Structure 1
Amino acid sequence: MKLRDVKYVPFSDTWLKEKTDDITRYLRLSAEFGCSNEGGRIYEDFKNNINKCISQFQELVLAQKDDDEPDDLESIKKLRPEGPRRLLSHLPDDYLNRLRGAFYGRMAGCTLGAALEFNPIETMKAWAEYFNEDFPPTDYWTHIKDPAAPHYITGRKLDLTRGHMDAVPPDDDTIYTLLGLLTLEKYGMDFTQEDMAEIWKRYLPLDGENESRGCYWGERIMMTNLLNGQELPEAGLEANPNLQNIAGWTRADSYGYVCPGWPEKAAELAYKDCSVNHRRNGVYGAMFMAAAISAAFAVDDPMEAVRIGLTEIPENCLFAEGIHWALEHPCSDYREAADKMWAVYGGMFNGSAITNAIHVVMGLDIGKKDFTRTIGQTIAMSGDNDCTGATAGSIAGAVIGKEAIPSKWTDPFRGRMHIYLKGLPEYLDIEEVCGRYTALARKFMQF
């Protein structure tokens, strides 16, 4: 399948939102007019029709097959182009410096992007101009909207700004990295999807009855289904329209960290993780990112890591086409990159695995090995830019090592990260976390 074969059904986000708002107002109006019982009946009919529509869409997409985009691992492997598969047979001497670069790089990129996540380019640019800051940013933001508002359960929005951090601020994209670590520590490389689900149920906090906190989109849907008694694989797919969204590859970093220079194995582990609640290009995105991060420990150019990442996914899938397109259309800055990308991929969701991966690749290409330029240009493209900033920072950091990351990005964390997982301390020591990754990598690389 190629992009030219994708034909989007025209629809209006505005119209859908306005009609939903109309339903809400009519419900209140029916009560005020003394006919709340009848209004409630109409609303129940509306809910049933909506759920029927969702079920029809789910059946439609899950029934579709494409020879270029299989879902099982063995078929995926058969469609890969030639690749190195494994670059290193043992832990490299500079592994710890590169790991610290990747981990701190991920934390920094996530924190920078989270402050204005999903804000349009013009909004971010106007925000920077109002407070006399650089755009694309060259340091953490100094101001944020609603600074006293909560941020991921245990934090505040203010924690994301320069001068107000005492650790890596809490975020789902840093928590996913830890969940990967916890899964690998308990179950090793042979973990099953059921093992992973148990880790998620054990550590992710709940809000009320069977409502998961600290994760969103397809991850929250899966957790809610699991907590309500559904089993895998149904729990990962039921009422989940996020099968090709970005979240799958935001969970991929741990697998690259523990398989340095072994992109094939990193991609296999990411497949097991991501395919629990993603399909097709959502899964390929996770495999690509895990392989690219793994390769970044063994190369000296971020773009070489990207090209190696492509060798672990189907050669003719839509995701691979998007990355090849990005490689064939180099840009000078974030504005050119975003404009070119949306001119081609304009029908896609702003949280798509593909569009956001293109942001990462273009950001790495624009930034070269300059860490500040890489994450600044990447998050300036908008989209799900705490995720894109985190992954661009992870890949760049693994290539250049922590010693090459300017201290303004790492010193504010004071060597620790703020988390919200059940049964764990509120803060984790970053060096201790890196030590735990090192122990796993040393063990796994013996195979």
Structure 2
Amino acid sequence: MRLAWAEPEDLLAHELVQAADEGRDVAAVRARWVAAGGEAVPAANGAGPEPAPPALRALARALLDEVAALPAAPAPAEPDDWAAIEALLPPPPDLPRPDERHAARVLGAWTGRAAGCLLGKPVEGTPRAGIEEIARATGRWPLDRWFTAVGLPPAVAARWPWNRSASVALEETIAGTPEDDDLDFPMLAVELLERHGRGFTTDDVAALWLEALPAARVFTAERVAYRNLLEARPVPETATYRNPFREWIGALIRADVLGWTNPGDVRTAARLAWTDARLSHTRNGLYGAQWAAALGAAATVCDTVGQVLDAAAAAVPPGSRLAAAVARGRALGEACDGSEAAVRAGLDRLHAELGHLHWVHVLHNAAVVAFALAAGRGEFGASVGIAVTAGWDTDSDAATVGGVVGALRGAGGIGERWTGPLDGRIATTLPGGERRIADLAARTVALARADRPAGGAPSPRAGGPR
């Protein structure tokens, strides 16, 4: 069996890229690996075409440890420790308190996240050119509705195969929201908060993963962290030991609920997201989660995309690469007038500047989220459509965008085109099976109210890193 995101030879190829990005001198290790017959270019989808022979696999394990021992360049603008991160953050914004619209906003956030995820699901990992050719060939360009295979010429279908999940994610096959890790993790966050409140620790997150998450339904950094947990490695070693995906997007997709349950409080949302993210991520992987949680906290109380983006910026170290990527995406989006040509030009710039990264990396995907939010101007279909046509991690980016715009507009402002096919339900591999979106929203609202004094701010229970 060929296990993606786990084999030593595949991990090493990705680690050589990640370690070089951290300022480690990997040239000698890379030369030894290539001379021995190893692949220098990382596999795009986590596993090369053939497993390495035993001797080469053993070398990969040894070289992974050698790379880990190499000194990294100092990164004072990108610390991992919460106290050091918090010391770099600007003061948190003074946002409105949740009002009588809060329940509708949370329902909109859940619904929007589900719809955005589902829109991007059939083309996850498909290049921009393929997404556009598919949409054009079926009369759906610019993308403003679900993908379809109806009328798709065989030559186009052969050139750009659907993601394997397309069987339940095309307009003609959607019957409720299908299972996805971008939705499993928010559901798990609800369970985490119901069990432990805002005082949860990273060990609590780990225990819940082992109890509730099927190992085959986690990927990239999460799959490696899961393996490290089974090997009894402690936090934060779970995020660093033979884990080349530690600055990818995985932690970002887990964070929305930590924002929705702390409306208006971006600092608490960011701290809780950090507590969750450090199980599997470092540096910008952490900041991506902090930013996503802050987006959620702001979107449940603010009125415009601009206000949300302003508030969420306070949750990211200002000198980090994540902050720069988000600012760039936002600036390009705000300069976009919404026309097809302007959207294309903005995305061309993002791809030119950040396209060297793996398609699941956090930096360019966060930039896409910022771009889609800014360019979409609070319109649901336009925003998630841009997030998907940007390429890269289409379902994750559109899910985050959909959650923000859904919270701003409320479930009633998303539109029947997007809400109807969901049928108010989400499939999951978590214990208990399918969830109703309305039930998830009600549980989230209850968690947002828990432990809050009359003034509306959360109580000062400290979530610990343990």
Tell me the TM-score normalized by structure 1: 0.85
Equivalent in the alignment of 2:16: none
Give the C-alpha shift of residue 7 in structure 1: 11
Q: Does 1:56 align with 2:61?
A: no
- Aligned partners of 1:362 and 1:261: how far apart in 2? 22
Give the C-alpha shift of residue 407 in structure 1: 0.8
Equivalent in the alignment of 2:143: 137
Percent of pairs with identical residues: 27
Equivalent in the alignment of 2:281: 278
**1:262–1:346: structure 2 CA closer, same or farther, 3 Å change rule?**
same
**1:21–1:116: structure 2 CA closer, same or farther, 3 Å change rule?**
closer
Give the C-alpha shift of residue 434 in structure 1: 0.8
Equivalent in the alignment of 1:34: none
- Retained in 1: the 8 A contact 2:327–2:367? no
Give the C-alpha shift of residue 150 in structure 1: 10
Q: Does 1:114 align with 2:128?
A: no
Q: How does 1:112-261 map to 2 (within 5 A)?
A: 112-130=119-137, 132-143=138-149, 157-205=166-214, 212-261=215-264
Equivalent in the alignment of 1:320: 323
- Retained in 1: the 8 A contact 2:92–2:266? no
Equivalent in the alignment of 1:44: 54
Equivalent in the alignment of 1:415: 424
Considering only aligned residues, what root-mean-square deviation do their CA atoms show, in Å? Answer: 2.8
Equivalent in the alignment of 2:309: 306
Gaps of 5+ in 1: 28-42, 206-211
Equivalent in the alignment of 2:407: 398
- Aligned partners of 1:76 and 1:150: how far apart in 2? 37
AA of the residue aligned to 1:317: S
Give the C-alpha shift of residue 237 in structure 1: 2.2
The secondary structure found in structure 2 opposite 1:213 is: helix
The secondary structure found in structure 1 opposite 2:224 is: helix
The secondary structure found in structure 1 opposite 2:263 is: coil
AA of the residue aligned to 1:218: A
- Aligned partners of 1:17 and 1:230: how far apart in 2? 26
- Aligned partners of 2:273 and 2:378: how far apart in 1? 26
- Retained in 2: the 8 A contact 1:258–1:444? no
- Aligned partners of 2:336 and 2:187: how far apart in 1? 34
AA of the residue aligned to 2:263: P
**1:198–1:23: structure 2 CA closer, same or farther, 3 Å change rule?**
closer
Give the C-alpha shift of residue 385 in structure 1: 0.8
**1:60–1:406: structure 2 CA closer, same or farther, 3 Å change rule?**
farther
Give the C-alpha shift of residue 139 in structure 1: 1.0
Give the C-alpha shift of residue 44 in structure 1: 2.5
- Retained in 1: the 8 A contact 2:284–2:322? yes
- Aligned partners of 1:353 and 1:163: how far apart in 2? 32
Task: Report the count of equivalent residues.
Answer: 409
Q: Deviations over 1:214-260 (max 9, x none)?
A: 11001011112222333333233211001110111111101011011
Give the C-alpha shift of residue 70 in structure 1: 1.1
Give the C-alpha shift of residue 190 in structure 1: 0.4
2:293 aligns with one of 290, 295, 300: 290
- Retained in 1: the 8 A contact 2:125–2:394? yes
AA of the residue aligned to 1:359: V
Give the C-alpha shift of residue 21 in structure 1: 7.2
AA of the residue aligned to 1:308: A
Q: Does 1:384 align with 2:390?
A: no
My pick for the range that moved more, 134-143 or 259-268, is 134-143
- Aligned partners of 2:239 and 2:23: how far apart in 1? 25
Q: Deviations over 1:68-124 (max 9, x none)?
A: 11111111111112331x5245x4210011111111110011000111001111111
Q: How does 1:339-350 map to 2 (within 5 A)?
A: 339-350=348-359
Q: Deviations over 1:52-81 (max 9, x none)?
A: 2222233337x5431111111111111112
- Aligned partners of 2:240 and 2:171: how far apart in 1? 40
- Retained in 1: the 8 A contact 2:205–2:276? yes
